Structure 1
């Protein structure tokens, strides 16, 4: 396939941009904008409040509703403390695999989509093709949520969204949401010999974790009978509990990092309402009886809706036709797909590479996966010319 060499060359350039989530992605976004503008796309770059990050939204074809959106995130996870055998930001081809940070998650799909843009520009007729490349997916899908607000305000209404996360080219029609929080406890420091004269922030944090464990069990009974997820219920995970300075000091500060992955929006409301009541009526009165300044504050790190399987899903139908698959699956990991679904698009996740390689040292994308993706994208051109 003649698009493979172009895609590999483009991917090499994308990997060379070290777009680790805390850092700027502007140079990469401007590079992609130039590539798309060169084939006639209308390109908008939307910066975040800091000016250091940006989303790209581009369109080939008429300014009408119902287009097909190809989406990917531009940020990658850090390589700090990972033992790489090669420079993670220099793509290396070896034994039928392309190594480099972001090759599968998910610059491989971005490279494939942009490499196909000249082909789409020649074939597009009544149905536009859109490109959406976002920032900060790895840290809460912040870019996609900001882009969704802009598209909603502009009245831009693509009909189909294909999110190219690494699925080994399987069609994914559903995944759980991902809600991440940091809950901060402010107590009152003191000498460990007089525990009643202080407010032990760590101990109250432990009681909060105990409540999370109770909710964790209760959520199992709330699992929808027809749930296709594994496990079928909403999960809670306590990722970190940080606090304290010494054996003999009552800790005045503590923090819990935790997440839940809802299978249905009502579960998230159930958990948040229960925790609010527990803090308001149980923990805080006890803390403030000793120190009026004691407090519990939950910081929302990200609340990303899941992708809900739909009985009617044009995106799934198109991908099944293009790939020859006879069905679609669900996965436990999260993507930006639910955000696009919330805008009224039918959405699926389908992209080259395996999630098993993502975020690891020596991340790679197999060439046969990239080729399979390009075949699918080339067939998609027929939908634009129909």
Structure 2
């Protein structure tokens, strides 16, 4: 009888044991957060967005906006990268690449440099030809000194292109616009003086006014000096009041930094270009009026074509300059500088070089007297 009671006691103990284990599991389950889609972790690159109609533990994982990142799990907010960095990925900021007209990486810089050097050498060769044949009629026509000044200013204009290339510095930013403005103003002033010389030469062919030739030379030389000096004054005033300076533009493009020259004062830059445009327009008008005057080796027609080229280039430059950004603005200005300078060189000096080198029989006093008769 006692053995049977012991077995019942063991059975009752065994039957109570499972009930005790189930109760422990329920207590553990009450301390755990239930797993659901509302409580999943937000990965880096996303942020939490709460759901007002549900519990605080429920939220959505929203990707960060463009230009922002989150590099933590369950981030509440996304943050922007520093100005010199950009989000290459949704969870990482990387440094922005720096962009400018570099001699190392930009093939356009190599092309522009080669073209500038070639035309500089051509200008030097023409200057050498004019010095070698300085006593011939075709060189002496319309004041050979003005031709030398014009050729030197053209050579310097080609060299000014290199101030627009490479890493912008304080020196290059201050010199690029002003140096070209002064040299190009000297060139246009020389062209204007040469055109006036055509008119003066026609007037001195009349009897009894031989002294006007000397007066005309003095007037033209003073004209070149005054027109160039005024541009020098404008440039110095610009550099003194609000000089250009290099800057890093981080807002133009989101993924790169543009190294450029800030012009300082756009009003001064506009006045500089406007003065050159005024000289060009006056030269074009005067040369157009003097194109048919009966003078030997009258270059007024060639000057008219050259000024037409210059006016066309710079009129097209204004909308092109305003419609591009970054280093393309510098390329547009370089194209305008080189195109206008090549137009002057080709229209005025190539025909004279053709007469000197290919048709020397036309470069003589007999040919001049035959033309007059």
Give the TM-score, by structure 1 length. 0.24
Which is greater in Rg?
Answer: 2
Give the TM-score, by structure 2 length. 0.24
More strand by proportion, 1 or 2?
A: 1
Higher relative contact order (CA 8 A, sep 6+): 1
